[in-house]
Structure 1
Amino acid sequence: MAGIYIHIPYCKQKCSYCDFHFSTNLNSKNELIFSLLKEFELRKNEIQEPIETIYFGGGTPSILTNNELDSIFDALQHHFDLSQVKEVTLEANPDDLTPEKLAYFKTTPINRFSIGIQSFFEEDLRLMNRAHNAVEAENCIKLVREFGFENITIDLIYGSNTTTHEMWQQNLQKAVDLGVNHISSYALTVEEKTILNRKIEKGEWKPINDQHQSDQFDYLVQFLEKNGFIQYEISNFGKPGYFSQHNSNYWKGVPYIGFGPSAHSYFGNNRAWNIANNAKYIQALKNNNLPIEIETLSLEDQYNEMMMIGLRTIYGIDPNVVKSTFGTKIFDYFNLEIKELFKENLVQQIDGKIVLTKKAKFFADGIASRLFYVD
């Protein structure tokens, strides 16, 4: 089985914290959709196996018109084996989820929504420069469920200076009260070339407080666990039966192919990515060229990637797989480093797999980097 990721690089407005590839200028959208369909055709032979999951990310995929989505699904059906598809996710902003749009979505293969709520409070939404308001944030979840969609995940952001602990607790309680079965939650991160970074550098906004974020992360983990959620990845919490199949396959190393500007692909020993420029992407495909770069992963690269991804998930790292896949030299290094992490109570072994302890989860990436192998 394999997955398909489709990047839709358009948004109504720019969120203050976002550094993903997107544009608020929609003038090239028709041309880009045409180029996307051309990319499907040119790359159809890269994946021979049946497709299990499809994920529309962005940007804001819910900005697409009905005709544009229809053309994408028609082309996917024509070029790929979709007979085994189990999950089709569409990222959406609350203000796009109108009754008319949801009625249309019921006629498509879409069966899962990832909704960018971020917060149910106006103070947070204003700081993040979101396109929706607090009322729309709540109402869209009710509306999506009224239309019969139960497989819903929402994004929530913690650790903003506008988000008090009481507000964070209310955000999580409201999500649970609304019947949400999956939550992806991330710390507000200051990335270069974002509005948030510029405001902080100018002294207009306070810097992010690490302890504030750590405290809210701890509450997030404890609260959702008490309410029947499983933290199956550092930032992802789902009730049984509602884990993201698409993202879980990423973390398990299942091959996937990415379409659209800046989209990434993974085929085991190879990683590829499209150019992160809409105009150049369109022009290349007009000339039947693929605007793509391909990297062959060394054994060390593959090992380091396994460490980074494995420690972020409940699936963990299997020492036997490390030994059989990467050989004695890397396995001996792994054993040496992992012993130190055991001594510091940062990792534990469950059912033969090495996973992080609770206290270590907020520092997952830093801990994983201690296991990286550099020849």
Structure 2
Amino acid sequence: MAGIYIHIPFCRQACHYCDFHFSTNLSGIDSLVAAIAEEIALRKEFLLGQTVETIYFGGGTPSLLSEKQLGFLLAKIRDHFALDLKEVTLEANPDDLSEENLNNWKSLGIDRLSLGIQSFQEEVLRFYNRAHSAKEALDAISSGRKAGFEKFSIDLIYGFPHTDHSLWEKDLAEALRQDSGHISAYSLTVEPKTALGKWTEKGLFQPADEDFVAEQFEWLQEQTDKAGYIQYEISNFGKPGQFALHNTNYWKGTPYLGLGPSAHSFDGKNRGSNPSTNPGYIKSIGSGKIPFEAELSSVEDQVNDRILTGLRTVWGLSPSALDEDFGIALLESRSKEIEKLEKQGWLIWDGKILSLTKRGMLLADSIAAELFI
């Protein structure tokens, strides 16, 4: 099985925290869609005939595409890949959820909406420079349900600096009240080339300290658990049967093809990406050249990648699978580190699987690094 990710690098306006590749000049959408359609044909062999089970339109803001453009890309995928679709996801902003758009998306076979809500608080949305209002955020799930959608993901950001945790507590309470079935929550991160990064550099913005952010993460874990959500990956919480399939496959090491500028791909061993410029991407496609740059992975890279991704999930890391696939006896080579991390309350070994404790989720990357070969 495999997945396909399509990056649509356009937004109406730039969010102050975002460092993803996008453009606010919407005049190039038609050319970009045509180029992605050509890339679909050029890279039809990448997945080696594996059946595609998930398609994910991400960005940027793919909900800016017309029904015709989305349908065109889906038709191109059907022409060049074997499909047995279990899930087709569209990232959408709340301000794009018109009745017409929702009905069009449903008719195309899109069955999961990933909603970029980020906050339900007007003051926070304005600070982030989001295009939608608090009311549109509040109405998003009900509008989708009215159109017949049953699967949703809500994106939220925590760690907004404030005198207390009240804003985050209100956001999370509202998200749980909405009962979307799936929540993806990320801490507010200051990236250098963003507006937030520039304000921080000039002393105009002071990010929340690590303890403040950690407390909000722990509140997130506690409240989602009470509401019946499973933290199946550090940033992803879903009710049983409502995990996002495309994202789940990322963490389980399923191959996927990334299409569009800046999109990443993974063939099961090696990763790579497309250039992060729209003109460069379109020029390369126009000349019949695949713009993909592969990053060949050593055995050590592949093992460490497995350790990092496995520990981030509820399914954990199987040392026996590492031994079987790579000849790496992790329990022997990292026995001291594993014993220390267990004693510190960060890691659990149940005889078959290594997994992080809830506290360990706070330090996932550093814990994984201690086990790297």
Which TM-score applies when normalising by structure 2?
A: 0.97
Contact 1:94 1:116 in 2 (8 A): yes
Q: CA RMSD in A?
A: 1.4
Specify whether residues 163 and 63 from structure 1 end up closer, same or farther in structure 2 by C-alpha distance, changes over 3 A only: farther
> Match for residue 220 of structure 2?
220
Contact 1:304 1:372 in 2 (8 A): yes
Contact 2:41 2:80 in 1 (8 A): yes
Kindly state the Cα deviation for residue 243 of structure 1 after the two structures are TM-superposed. Answer: 0.3
Specify whether residues 174 and 342 from structure 1 end up closer, same or farther in structure 2 by C-alpha distance, changes over 3 A only: same
> Match for residue 251 of structure 1?
251
> Match for residue 137 of structure 1?
137
Supply the AA of the counterpart residue of 1:120.
Answer: F
> Match for residue 65 of structure 2?
64
| Structure 2 CA distance for aligned equivalents of residues 162 and 87 of structure 1 | 38
Contact 1:37 1:75 in 2 (8 A): yes
Contact 2:3 2:256 in 1 (8 A): yes
Q: Which stretch of the first structure deviates more once superposed, 345-354 or 49-58?
A: 345-354
Specify whether residues 134 and 100 from structure 1 end up closer, same or farther in structure 2 by C-alpha distance, changes over 3 A only: same
Q: Which stretch of the first structure deviates more once superposed, 188-197 or 322-331?
A: 322-331
Kindly state the Cα deviation for residue 50 of structure 1 after the two structures are TM-superposed. Answer: 1.1
SS of structure 1 residue aligned to 2:58: strand
Contact 1:229 1:238 in 2 (8 A): yes
Kindly state the Cα deviation for residue 291 of structure 1 after the two structures are TM-superposed. Answer: 1.0
Q: Note the 1:34-53 alignment, pairs <5 A.
A: 34-47=34-47, 48-53=49-54
Kindly state the Cα deviation for residue 188 of structure 1 after the two structures are TM-superposed. Answer: 0.3
SS of structure 2 residue aligned to 1:289: coil
SS of structure 1 residue aligned to 2:157: strand
**Cα-to-partner distance string for 1:100-126 (whole Å, 9 max, x where unaligned):** 111111211100010000000011111
Specify whether residues 329 and 102 from structure 1 end up closer, same or farther in structure 2 by C-alpha distance, changes over 3 A only: closer
Kindly state the Cα deviation for residue 208 of structure 1 after the two structures are TM-superposed. Answer: 2.5
> Match for residue 261 of structure 2?
261
Supply the AA of the counterpart residue of 1:62.
Answer: S
Kindly state the Cα deviation for residue 27 of structure 1 after the two structures are TM-superposed. Answer: 1.9
Count of aligned pairs: 372
> Match for residue 74 of structure 2?
73
Kindly state the Cα deviation for residue 331 of structure 1 after the two structures are TM-superposed. Answer: 5.8
SS of structure 2 residue aligned to 1:269: coil
Q: Which stretch of the first structure deviates more once superposed, 248-257 or 165-174?
A: 165-174
SS of structure 1 residue aligned to 2:359: helix
Supply the AA of the counterpart residue of 1:226.
Answer: K
| Structure 1 CA distance for aligned equivalents of residues 97 and 328 of structure 2 | 53
Supply the AA of the counterpart residue of 1:257.
Answer: L
- Counterpart check, 1:88 vs 2:88: yes
Contact 1:322 1:331 in 2 (8 A): no
| Structure 1 CA distance for aligned equivalents of residues 153 and 113 of structure 2 | 6
SS of structure 2 residue aligned to 1:46: coil
SS of structure 2 residue aligned to 1:200: helix
> Match for residue 238 of structure 1?
238
**Cα-to-partner distance string for 1:132-179 (whole Å, 9 max, x where unaligned):** 110110112210111111100100100111484122122112112222
**Cα-to-partner distance string for 1:69-110 (whole Å, 9 max, x where unaligned):** 11111111111112x110000001110111111111121110
Kindly state the Cα deviation for residue 24 of structure 1 after the two structures are TM-superposed. Answer: 0.7
Contact 2:322 2:329 in 1 (8 A): no
SS of structure 2 residue aligned to 1:144: helix
Kindly state the Cα deviation for residue 349 of structure 1 after the two structures are TM-superposed. Answer: 2.2
> Match for residue 324 of structure 1?
324
Specify whether residues 78 and 113 from structure 1 end up closer, same or farther in structure 2 by C-alpha distance, changes over 3 A only: same
SS of structure 1 residue aligned to 2:208: coil
| Percent identity for Structure 1 against Structure 2 | 48
Kindly state the Cα deviation for residue 370 of structure 1 after the two structures are TM-superposed. Answer: 1.5
Supply the AA of the counterpart residue of 1:280.
Answer: G
| Structure 1 CA distance for aligned equivalents of residues 226 and 273 of structure 2 | 40
Supply the AA of the counterpart residue of 1:211.
Answer: D
**Cα-to-partner distance string for 1:198-230 (whole Å, 9 max, x where unaligned):** 111212122322111111111100001000000
SS of structure 1 residue aligned to 2:371: coil
Q: Which stretch of the first structure deviates more once superposed, 30-39 or 360-369?
A: 360-369
Contact 1:17 1:196 in 2 (8 A): yes
Kindly state the Cα deviation for residue 330 of structure 1 after the two structures are TM-superposed. Answer: 5.9
| Structure 1 CA distance for aligned equivalents of residues 357 and 80 of structure 2 | 44
| Structure 2 CA distance for aligned equivalents of residues 241 and 328 of structure 1 | 33
Q: Which stretch of the first structure deviates more once superposed, 358-367 or 152-161?
A: 358-367
Give the 4+ runs in structure 1 shifted more than 3 A: 328-332
Uncovered stretches (5+) of structure 2, i.e. residues with no partner = none
SS of structure 1 residue aligned to 2:372: coil
Supply the AA of the counterpart residue of 1:242.
Answer: Q
**Cα-to-partner distance string for 1:42-73 (whole Å, 9 max, x where unaligned):** 11122201111001111011011111111111
| Structure 1 CA distance for aligned equivalents of residues 221 and 337 of structure 2 | 27
Specify whether residues 218 and 285 from structure 1 end up closer, same or farther in structure 2 by C-alpha distance, changes over 3 A only: same
> Match for residue 299 of structure 1?
299
> Match for residue 369 of structure 2?
369
SS of structure 1 residue aligned to 2:107: coil
| Structure 2 CA distance for aligned equivalents of residues 97 and 68 of structure 1 | 17
Contact 1:323 1:331 in 2 (8 A): no
Contact 2:323 2:329 in 1 (8 A): no
SS of structure 1 residue aligned to 2:26: coil
Contact 1:123 1:162 in 2 (8 A): no
Supply the AA of the counterpart residue of 2:69.
Answer: E
SS of structure 1 residue aligned to 2:27: coil
**Cα-to-partner distance string for 1:303-331 (whole Å, 9 max, x where unaligned):** 11111111110110111112222325766
| Structure 2 CA distance for aligned equivalents of residues 152 and 329 of structure 1 | 40
> Match for residue 202 of structure 1?
202
> Match for residue 118 of structure 1?
118
Uncovered stretches (5+) of structure 1, i.e. residues with no partner = none
Contact 1:53 1:86 in 2 (8 A): yes
SS of structure 2 residue aligned to 1:290: coil
> Match for residue 56 of structure 2?
55
